[in-house]
Amino acid sequence: MFTGLIEEQGKIKSIKITSAGMELTIECSKILSDVKEGASICINGACQSVTSFGKDYITVQTSNETLNVTNFRKLQVGEMVNLERALTLNSRLDGHIVSGHIDCTAEFVNSKEDGFCNKLFFKLPDSYTKYVIYKGSIAINGVSLTIANIDNNIFTVELIPDTLKKVNLSKLKKGDIVNIETDLFAKYIEKIYNSNNTKSNITYGFLAENGFV
């Protein structure tokens, strides 16, 4: 589990793609302080296990399933990626609960300044808009953010300058693809509500009355 608070940006050192998946080597520094083989590292929002590491890099092996649902196939050598180590139970949860399991990708539409913040606009696949609510949490390339506005399948987030300089969202160009993890609890609620095999007292009216929909 992660918080969506990025610890550093790493630079992609090498990419090897085979029929088995992708081997990705990333130059980094901060996250190496307590790294070990098998450690979970969130890379652009996707939880990956460290297979090897050195004094200035980590290597992970990415499955074909991950390649199918993330923007990893579009990564290039020299590109910066967001990195976060798994959360610990003795630290504050300043972001939100992020599993590191990517639901889908979204297209960057544009951005505009709004006071000292930057508004970023993204286009979601229609089938995932049901998980996005006004003032709800979302992880974009692993960054914990709050939904500022929703217009059909276009949603908006606002980033302060301090966040922008720490993450790779400031480098996005129109049409770029980002990894999206929607709110974990929304998916659990949907599963309970729609299950044909579970008898439950939870109804749509109950969810609406209690602010879930």
pLDDT, tens digit (0-9, with 9 covering 90-100), for 132-179: 999 999 999 999 999 999 999 999 999 999 999 999 999 999 999 999
Mean pLDDT of 6-16: 97
Q: Is the dihedral of CA 64, 68, 74, 80 positive or negative?
A: negative
Residue bearing the bigger pLDDT, 185 or 129: 129
Looking at residue 91, what DSSP letter applies? S
Domain boundary residue, one of 85, 117, 148:
85
110 and 63 assigned to the same domain: no
CA atoms within 13 A on the CB side of 97: 5
Please check the confidence at residue 209 and state whether its pLDDT lies above 90.
no
Is residue 93 one of the residues assigned to a domain? no
Is residue 91 one of the residues assigned to a domain? no
79 and 126 assigned to the same domain: no
Please report the pLDDT score of residue 123 as a whole number: 98
Is residue 150 one of the residues assigned to a domain? yes
Residue bearing the bigger pLDDT, 125 or 210: 125
167 and 115 assigned to the same domain: yes
43 and 115 assigned to the same domain: no
- Please answer whether residues 51 and 60 qualify as being in contact, where contact means their C-beta atoms are separated by less than 8 angstroms: yes
21 and 72 assigned to the same domain: yes
Is residue 196 one of the residues assigned to a domain? no
- Please answer whether residues 81 and 143 qualify as being in contact, where contact means their C-beta atoms are separated by less than 8 angstroms: no
Phi/psi class of residue 211: alpha, beta or left (left: φ > 0; alpha: ψ in -120 to 50)?
left
Please check the confidence at residue 197 and state whether its pLDDT lies above 80.
no
- At 199, the pLDDT band (50, 70, 90 cuts) reads low
- At 200, the pLDDT band (50, 70, 90 cuts) reads low
> What is the residue range of 81's domain?
8-85
Domain boundary residue, one of 51, 85, 119:
85
113 and 163 assigned to the same domain: yes
Please report the pLDDT score of residue 134 as a whole number: 93
Please report the pLDDT score of residue 65 as a whole number: 95
Please report the pLDDT score of residue 44 as a whole number: 98
Looking at the chain, the whole-number percentage of residues with pLDDT higher than 90 is 79
| Spatial separation of the C-alpha atoms in residues 152 and 197, rounded to whole Å | 32
Say what the pTM is: 0.87
| Spatial separation of the C-alpha atoms in residues 26 and 144, rounded to whole Å | 22
Is residue 159 one of the residues assigned to a domain? yes
Give me 85's structure tokens: 């180590």
- Return the ∠ at Cα 49 (arms to 187 and 124), rounded to 5°: 35
Q: In this structure, what CATH number is given to the domain that contains residue 143?
A: 2.40.30.20
Mean pLDDT of 45-64: 97
Average pLDDT of the chain to the nearest whole number: 92
Is residue 61 one of the residues assigned to a domain? yes
- At 9, the pLDDT band (50, 70, 90 cuts) reads very high
21 and 74 assigned to the same domain: yes
Among the ranges given (97-101, 103-107, 187-191), the one the predictor scored with the smallest mean pLDDT: 187-191
Is residue 97 one of the residues assigned to a domain? no
Total domains in the fold of the chain: 2
Whose tokens are 């967001």? That residue is 82
Is residue 157 one of the residues assigned to a domain? yes
Please report the pLDDT score of residue 40 as a whole number: 96
